[in-house]
Structure formats: structure tokens, C-alpha cells
Amino acid sequence: MKLLIINGPNLNLLGRREPHIYGKDSFDTFLEKLRRKFTDTQLLYYQSNSEGSLIDRMHRAIEEGIDGIILNAGAYTHYSLALHDAIKAIEIPVLEVHISNIHAREHFRHQSVIAPACVGTIAGFGLMSYEMAVYYFLNQKH
């Protein structure tokens, strides 16, 4: 199985950004642990602070034979209709993830405009949200 993890804006600062919300581990450190755990799964990773770059990366996934995308769109979750449309256009299952529980945070974070285009949402389990997303894809009937 070939999965693509995409992180949006400010997630390059994991480990330094608001550690009381996002934890103290960098994503690179976590990704290495994830790859050691799921050795039979190819885990690709991409991060960008730019909405257009995230969309371009999803488009490239079509030609790469990606089986599923794990997407933490960061703040774009709450207003990016362009990401919503890109998810619908690529016909690759996308699972929305969030490190924090978006429903326990500021009111503007409670709404996800990308959720209706995704196969599901996992939120509030810290970096383990990504691990849960990998398990989801591994346990789907293909």
C-alpha cells in the first residue's frame, strides 16, 4: 500500500509550535517511528504552507498510484473550498486528520469545509491521529 501524508500550514513547526496543544515531537521524528511500525506500507510525506502547493501535490498523487491520502490541512480546513474541490476531483480516498480536537478549540475551528469531501475525520488524538489513519487504510476492503 502506498499512502501520502500531507500537512498544511504551520505544521512544519510541530515540536515548537504551541507544544501544550500539538506536543513536543517534530513531525519528522514521528514519521520515522511510523515508517518503522508500518514496514509493509510506503509512507510518502509532503508539507507546505501554500494552498496551491497542497492542491498540486494531491493532483500529482493520481499519477503516482497513491492508494490513500492522510490530510491535515491546518487552518485551510476551515475555509478552503479549493482543497475541498481538489479532494473531490482526484478520486483518491482522503482521510482528514487533526492533532488537536478542533471541536474543543476556538469556535471558528469547529467547521470543516473539507470534511464532506473526505472519507472520514480523525481528531484529537495527538500525532496518533495519523497512525489511526494508516490503520483505517490498511483495514479497508479494496
User: Does domain 2-138 match CATH 3.40.50.9100?
Assistant: yes
pLDDT for position 47: 97
Residues taking part in catalysis: 22, 98
Give the DSSP H or E segment for 130: helix 128-138
| pLDDT score for 102 | 73
Cell of 2: 502506498
Write down the domain spans for the chain: 2-138
Residue 11: partners with Cβ closer than 8 Å, 6 or more residues away = 27, 47, 72, 74
Q: Residue 17: what pLDDT? A: 64
Say what the pLDDT of residue 105 is. 61
Quick check: 34 and 25 in contact, CB under 8 A? Answer: no
Distance CA 98, CA 50 (A): 18
What pLDDT score does 18 carry?
A: 65
Question: For the chain (length 142 residues), average pLDDT per consecutive 10?
Answer: 96 72 78 96 97 98 97 92 97 94 64 93 94 96 60
Contact 11, 27 (CB under 8 A): yes
- Whole-model pTM? 0.91
Number of C-beta neighbours around residue 64 at 10 A: 12
**CA quadruple 117, 88, 91, 94: dihedral sign:** negative
Predicted local distance difference test score (pLDDT) of residue 88: 97
